């Protein structure tokens, strides 16, 4: 016979205002199997918890129901207290009579009756409940960082400095990401490369970091502490172990007129190339689509001139499987660059801007390259069409961002600041030039940010026009920018030599596909979703996977670095333990009756269900059934709802418990 204790909490006045707690406690005392019931002002307080512990000992209780707030609030508190009094923590359950009752009702009589019902339900559930033991899983103390931009670099260095092994996987031939492309950074105007490249070198030289550049994630299996990650190392056509990075191959390559991606297509590179001089690793890669050797089989100059014999045209993609304990996703962003509506996309495009057709309309990243000392113009601001210095330049903010009708409703966050920076860079380089900015609002929260923007307006002579541009077209060698000044209430027409669009920040290409491999969720724009917008901003809902940087939402460098370090701290917290303890509220399969239709496997959002072979004594496979890996199971119960014969059940929420609850009503 069960001996259940029921403890009804007043929650100050939060519950007792609408619920007659004394009556609820008295009614609970009459339920068969309840050995003790009482009410108390604050059950979660120290005296409240002691009351519970004392009652367990005195009345020899076999189960506990605390009628108070949501289990999300205090389930852990009371389970711990019950555990301390010698009871199995999992026979302690909470009846939520605050959020589910007192807060949402006004009629005291009815609310009291409902609270009594809720308590009765939980008593029946606890009666049928079983003692559960926590599950422990081992932790592989090696982290995977996906993406080698500033977010990935920072996270990798932090984790590696803490003494753990880190694997960095970067899709491009070099790490560095977008930050390596920037000329100067706000709000201090320090050179981006000067602060970035030392960190890149640190990654390459760190004894705890293994760098897989020009590689992609092929497959991710497993769960927190125990991921199995398959990495595809794409064929570089250059043996990294032999190459000394001397650069002779690049110098001798006869194919040199290929638009350089690093310079946004405005500089040229050879078919065998490193993306930029400070690249890490400094190992060239052959662009097979543009290489004469690969296209026609004739050339082979790079192989001939290579002293160490590192060029290998036969190299193939290789797959490596790594055991990983935690994953930091830092895949970053791309800039919106759509001139017309793509098929099947919610994005509308900016055909009316001549975007993509007028060569002197460029995006912010192209302007960065034009302003950069290492860029295609050597740091001179020259327009792409004819190489002339633009004397009138127009910057347009919020292109794509905050435009619901165009398909993106969010603010890209960094554009106000980088446009202000662009006007300054322009003013510093073209002294007799004039910069105009079309803007909706100037959003400058951040340390030193508003001062920076004021400086652009007040000291660096940028003319800010509050309004949007409706149309742009080429007239002679000028671009006619037609817009409105909404503060003055007039139409504005500017004859510009060049236009820079602060286009929206979007998640990287293929962000959704990677999320599907990782089993993490993403929003309609493909930004990855954090577990809680406020309290878990770097964790994913999938345990053991953390987010850093712009892959989660538009971010500037300081925010990105902060989040990367936060993600690294989360990884270190995980790695501080040898064994992970997990809540035992997991699903279990009744092996006798499972027929192995694997409907559960198809619906499991955690990938926790595996196929298990049942063998007879001779070792012959009798049947193949479902097995729930307790380390992966999230305890959502979807399998239980799906199983046609109900042979999989969630501990703590068994059909028997649920039916017992329903039958009390």
Partner 1 sequence: MNAKAQKAKGCGIEPAYYDAVTQAIRSEAVKVLKEGAVSAVIGYLPGRRKSAAVPAVVTTEEEAGRLIFSPACVNNLSLYLTKAKKGILPGGKIGIVAKGCDLRALAGLMGESQIKRDDLFIIGINCAGVQGAVAAGNGQLTEASIAKKCRECTAHTPEGVDFVAGTLPHLDGLTPLEAEELARIEAMPQAERWAYWKEQFSRCIRCMACRQVCPFCYCEQCLCDKNRPQAVESSPRPAGNTAWHIVRAMHLAGRCAGCAECERSCPMDIPLNLLNRRMAQELKELYDYEASMAPQEKGPLNQYKEDDDQSFIK
Q: Where along the sequence are the contacts to partner 1 (CB under 8 A)?
A: 524, 592-599, 602-603, 623-624, 642, 644-647, 655-656, 659-660
Report CA 133 to chain centroid distance, whole Å.
32
Give the pair of three-digit tokens for residue 603: 């619906």
CA atoms of 341 and 351, how far apart (whole Å): 8
State the nearest-atom distance from the C-beta of 624 to partner 1, in Å.
Answer: 7
Rank residues 256 and 602 by Cβ distance to partner 1 and give the closer one.
Answer: 602
| Phi, psi for 234 (deg, rounded to 5) | -70, 150
In the bound state with partner 1, the residue whose beta carbon lies nearer, of 26 and 603, is 603
Beta strands in 340-407 (DSSP E): 361-363, 392-399
Q: How far is CA 368 from the centre of its chain?
A: 26
Cα distances (angstroms) measured from residue 615 to each of 319, 597, 610, 622, 628: 33, 18, 16, 5, 18
**Backbone angles phi and psi of 30, in degrees to 5:** -90, -5
CA angle 354, 359, 364 (to 5 degrees): 85
Q: Nearest approach, Cβ of 647 to partner 1 (angstroms)? A: 7
Minimum gap (Å) between residue 655 Cβ and partner 1: 6
- Our CB check for partner 1 shows the closer of 468 and 603 to be 603
- How far lies 254's CA from each of 251, 299, 600, in Å? 8, 9, 58
In this complex, which beta carbon is closest to partner 1, that of residue 378 or of residue 605? 605
Q: Quick one: 188 or 645, whose CB is closer to partner 1? A: 645
State in angstroms the smallest separation of the CB of 596 from partner 1. Answer: 6
- What Å distances lie between residue 52 and 30, 331, 543, 558, CA to CA? 19, 49, 32, 48
Q: Which CB, 365 or 648, lies closer to partner 1?
A: 648
CA-angle at 573, arms to 567 and 579, nearest 5°: 130
Tokens of 645: 């014969």
Least separation in angstroms between CB 602 and partner 1:
4
Q: List b or e across 214-246, with b for residues whose CB sees 16 or more CB atoms inside 10 angstroms.
A: bbbbeebebbbbbbebebbbbbbbbeeeebeee
- Kindly tell me which of 408 and 626 has the beta carbon lying closer to partner 1: 626
CA dihedral 17, 21, 23, 25 (to 10 degrees): 170
Closest to partner 1 by CB, 386 or 523: 523
207 versus 344: smaller Cβ distance to partner 1: 344
Q: How far is the CB of 645 from partner 1 (least distance, A)?
A: 4
Token output for 491: 């139409």
Which residue, 450 or 656, is less far from partner 1 as judged by CB?
Answer: 656
Shortest Å distance, C-beta 123 to partner 1: 17
Q: In angstroms, what CA-CA distances link 206 with 84, 175, 195, 544?
A: 45, 14, 17, 24
Residues contacting residue 528 through CB under 8 Å, at least 6 positions apart:
329, 507, 511, 515, 520, 521, 522, 540, 547, 551, 552
In whole angstroms, how close is the CB of 64 to partner 1 at the nearest point?
A: 23
* Least Å from the CB of residue 13 to partner 1: 36
C-beta of 621: minimal distance to partner 1 in Å? 12
């Amino acid at each position: 016979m069960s001996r259940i204790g029921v403890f009804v909490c007043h929650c100050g006045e939060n519950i007792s205002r609408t619920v007659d707690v004394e009556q609820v406690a008295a009614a609970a005392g009459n339920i068969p199997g309840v050995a003790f019931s009482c009410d108390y002002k604050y059950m979660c307080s120290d005296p409240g918890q002691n009351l519970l512990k004392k009652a367990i000992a005195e009345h020899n209780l076999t189960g506990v129901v605390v009628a108070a707030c949501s289990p999300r609030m205090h389930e852990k508190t009371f389970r711990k207290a019950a555990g301390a009094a010698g009871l199995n923590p999992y026979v302690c359950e909470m009846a939520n009579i605050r959020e589910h009752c007192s807060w949402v009702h006004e009629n005291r009589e009815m609310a009291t009756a409902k609270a009594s019902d809720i308590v009765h339900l939980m008593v029946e559930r606890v009666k049928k409940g079983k003692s559960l033991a926590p599950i422990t899983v081992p932790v592989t103390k090696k982290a995977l960082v996906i993406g080698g931009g500033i977010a990935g670099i920072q996270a990798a260095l932090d984790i590696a400095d803490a003494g753990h092994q880190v694997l960095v996987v970067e899709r491009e031939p070099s790490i560095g990401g977008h930050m390596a492309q920037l000329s100067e950074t706000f709000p201090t105007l320090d050179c981006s490369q000067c602060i970035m490249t030392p960190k890149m070198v640190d990654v390459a030289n760190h004894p705890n970091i293994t760098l897989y550049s020009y590689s992609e994630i092929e497959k991710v299996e497993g769960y927190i502490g125990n991921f199995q990650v398959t990495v595809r190392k794409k064929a570089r056509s250059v043996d990294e172990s032999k190459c000394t990075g001397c650069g002779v191959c690049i110098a001798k390559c006869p194919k040199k007129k290929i638009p350089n991606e690093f310079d946004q297509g405005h500089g040229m590179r050879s078919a065998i190339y490193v993306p930029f001089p400070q690249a890490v690793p400094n190992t060239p890669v052959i662009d097979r689509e543009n290489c004469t050797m690969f296209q026609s089989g004739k050339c082979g100059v790079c192989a001939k001139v290579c002293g160490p014999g590192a060029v290998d045209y036969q190299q193939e993609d290789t797959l490596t499987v790594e055991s990983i304990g935690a994953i930091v996703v830092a895949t970053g962003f791309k800039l919106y660059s759509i001139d017309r509506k793509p098929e099947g996309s919610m994005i509308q495009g900016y055909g009316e801007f001549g975007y993509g057709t007028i060569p002197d309309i460029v995006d912010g990243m192209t302007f960065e390259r034009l302003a950069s000392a290492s860029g295609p113009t050597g740091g001179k601001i020259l327009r792409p069409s004819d190489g002339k210095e633009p004397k009138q330049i127009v910057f347009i903010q919020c292109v794509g961002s905050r435009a619901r009708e165009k398909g993106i409703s969010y603010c890209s966050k960094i554009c106000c600041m980088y446009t202000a920076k662009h006007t300054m860079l322009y003013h510093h380089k073209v002294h007799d030039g004039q910069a105009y900015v079309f803007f909706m609002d100037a959003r400058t929260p951040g340390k030193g940010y508003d001062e920076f923007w004021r400086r652009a307006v007040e000291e660096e002579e940028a003319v800010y026009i509050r309004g949007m541009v409706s149309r742009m077209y080429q007239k002679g060698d000028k671009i006619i920018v037609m817009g409105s000044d909404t503060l003055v209430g007039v139409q504005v027409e500017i004859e510009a030599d060049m236009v820079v669009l602060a286009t929206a920040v979007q998640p990287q290409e293929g962000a959704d596909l990677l999320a599907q491999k990782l089993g993490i969720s993403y929003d309609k724009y493909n930004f990855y979703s954090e577990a809680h917008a406020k309290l878990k901003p770097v964790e994913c809902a999938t345990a053991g996977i953390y987010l850093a940087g712009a892959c989660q939402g538009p971010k500037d460098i300081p925010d990105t670095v902060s989040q990367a370090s936060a993600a690294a701290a989360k990884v270190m917290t995980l790695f501080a333990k040898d064994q992970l303890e997990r809540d035992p509220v997991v699903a279990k399969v009744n092996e006798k009756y499972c027929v192995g239709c694997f409907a559960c496997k198809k619906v499991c959002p955690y990938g926790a269900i595996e196929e298990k072979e049942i063998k007879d004594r001779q070792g012959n496979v009798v049947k193949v059934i479902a097995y729930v890996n307790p380390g992966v199971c999230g305890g959502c119960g979807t399998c239980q709802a799906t199983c046609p014969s109900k042979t999989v059940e969630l501990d703590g929420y068994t059909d028997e418990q649920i039916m017992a609850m329903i039958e009390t009503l």
